[in-house]
Structure 1
Amino acid sequence: MNPAAPARTAPLAVLALAALALGAEAAAGPQCRGTIYLTFDTGSQSQAGLIATVLKRQGVKATFFLANEKTVNGDYSLDQAWAGYWRERAAEGHAFGSHTFDHTYYVRDAANGKITVKPQFGPHAGRTQDWTPQQYCAELQRVDRRFEQMTGARLDPFWRAPGGKTSPRTLQAGKACGYQHAGWATPAGFSGDELPVERASNAALLRRALDGLRDGDIFMAHMGIWSRKDPWAPANLEPLIEGLKQKGFCFATLREHPDYKK
């Protein structure tokens, strides 16, 4: 037996371990240079199927904010006909928040601590009402109860006001019943899918998002907008995800966002 043999084989073992480590790193892919949080609010639901397909194909998890909005099918987005869709998204690991049941807009703070609101759908659609903070909380919870009926799961503890319109009073009302508001904070976080095509083409909106989004940004789009002539998602969603990946970004739900972790 040659006593020098162990000394010669030791470096080989180190090299082999290094090669294995490099291989594992390559398999795992490049390190994230930042994280983007994609979020989608319910709308006409015309793009619901496409959004689900693209997210699955790209291996991206997103956060959905649910309201009971009228859809292109003539029903509503929290009707039983949509239960299968929401169950599938829940099984895929996406996150979910309340968007108020009747897509209820904040109008102003009223007297006696109340909140003036205007529901877009439901029995009081288009009419302003003065709600107590407890009534506002109940509107958020209606989505949670309906989501549990459809999927067996509960919403995550966050909500988003229609139009992003809030006040300290509405924020406190949500917080009092366990929901933290999640807006989009930066201009680049607004997809622009509500804007007229004449003012904002899909190409311009895509460029703005790719140029402007930064680590930690929340990006908001809708699952279909009635008024936009050229829908945003078919042209922009996949190019946006692929473009952000090329820039080194990864994606996560708001469950992982430092401001919204449980």
Structure 2
Amino acid sequence: MLMRKRLILFVLAILLISPLSHTEAATPRAYNDRSLIYLTFDDGPHRQTGALLDVLKKHKVKATFFILGNNIKGNEKMLRRIVAEGHLIALHGMTHDRHKFYRTPTTAVREMQDVQRRVFQVTGVKSNIVRTPYGSDPYMTLAHRRAMTKAGFQMWDWNIDSLDYRYKTDNRRVQNQVFARLDANYKARIASIILTHDHSITPTALDYIIRNAKAKKRGYAFRTLQGLKNPHNFFNKWKPHR
């Protein structure tokens, strides 16, 4: 009799768990679910990184920062703040010079290894997630790709270009570009990886993008690229989520 009472109390306790929590645990979203947004920032760290981090912190959003090795010196404190606030550190090479980076498969790998080492020295984080300068098309030849994979690096591109580098002082153009592509990806049933630049996207534009994405009745959620096994790049595009 006592055992039956304990069993009944246990079942009641389970039923009292929040339905939302139970649903989220039972049905985790696929990495390419159309309601997922991956915010990424290239070329940092910069002085403006702090203002962007303030916006992300305000909205409780985590993002991925592709670090340029030559920008680390003098910005070590900012790099450590990125890590301390729960964002993902990734790698973007050293020079952002396509002639130097892509000269041979070896030069490409060495740049990534160099920035990887410098990031580790400052933060204690060893990242293998990379974005090559200007993306993987057209400069990443088959030999480059094989060398990068052999070195243990996972390459990520994007499927939404914010064009912030072109419209540096025009927030509206950046915002319209992002939401036009968000709509297209949602209809295509794929997740959205947004390319922005640490030194170009304004805190105002970033704030607008996050606020309005959350306001849409699509269940949008922001994630980092941490732990994903199926990288999106221009020669290995994501398939629509079924």
Distance change >3 Å, CA 83–CA 19, structure 1 → 2: same
Q: Does 1:204 align with 2:177?
A: no
Quick one: which of 18, 21, 37 aligns to 2:18?
A: 21
Partner AA of 2:86 in structure 1: G
Q: Is the 8 A contact 2:100 2:107 kept in 1?
A: no
Distance 2:106 2:21 in 1: 53
Structure 2: give runs of 5+ residues left out of the alignment: 1-7, 233-242
Q: Is the 8 A contact 1:68 1:103 kept in 2?
A: no
2:100 is matched with 118
Quick one: which of 102, 111, 136 aligns to 1:139?
A: 111
Distance change >3 Å, CA 149–CA 20, structure 1 → 2: closer
1:78 is matched with 72
1:93 is matched with 86
Distance 1:101 1:65 in 2: 11
2:223 is matched with 252
Distance 2:37 2:226 in 1: 12
Instruction: Name whichever of 245-254 and 205-214 sits farther off.
Output: 205-214
Matches within 5 A, 1:27-176: 34-42=35-43, 45-69=46-70, 77-79=71-73, 81-105=74-98, 117-118=99-100, 131-155=103-127, 157-164=128-135, 165=137, 166-168=139-141, 169-176=143-150
Partner AA of 2:108 in structure 1: Y
Q: Which runs of 4+ in 1 moved over 3 A?
A: 16-25
Q: Is the 8 A contact 1:46 1:223 kept in 2?
A: no
* % identity of equivalent residues: 30
Q: Report deviation, 1:44.
A: 7.9
User: Which secondary structure does the structure 2 equivalent of 1:45 belong to?
Assistant: coil
Q: Report deviation, 1:211.
A: 3.2
Structure 1: give runs of 5+ residues left out of the alignment: 1-9, 70-76, 106-116, 120-129, 226-231
2:154 is matched with 180
Q: Report deviation, 1:103.
A: 1.7
Q: Is the 8 A contact 2:36 2:223 kept in 1?
A: yes
Deviations 1:198-250 (A, max 9, x none): 9xx3213212312321341111101114xxxxxx3233101101111122210
User: Which secondary structure does the structure 1 equivalent of 2:38 belong to?
Assistant: strand
Size of the alignment, in residue pairs?
A: 206
Deviations 1:63-108 (A, max 9, x none): 1111134xxxxxxx210x3112111211222112221112231xxx
Using structure 2 for the length normalisation, give the TM-score. Answer: 0.72
Using structure 1 for the length normalisation, give the TM-score. Answer: 0.67
Partner AA of 1:244 in structure 2: A
Distance change >3 Å, CA 82–CA 22, structure 1 → 2: same
Partner AA of 2:225 in structure 1: L
Q: Is the 8 A contact 1:158 1:260 kept in 2?
A: no
Quick one: which of 192, 208, 216 aligns to 2:163?
A: 192
Larger Rg computed on CA atoms: 1
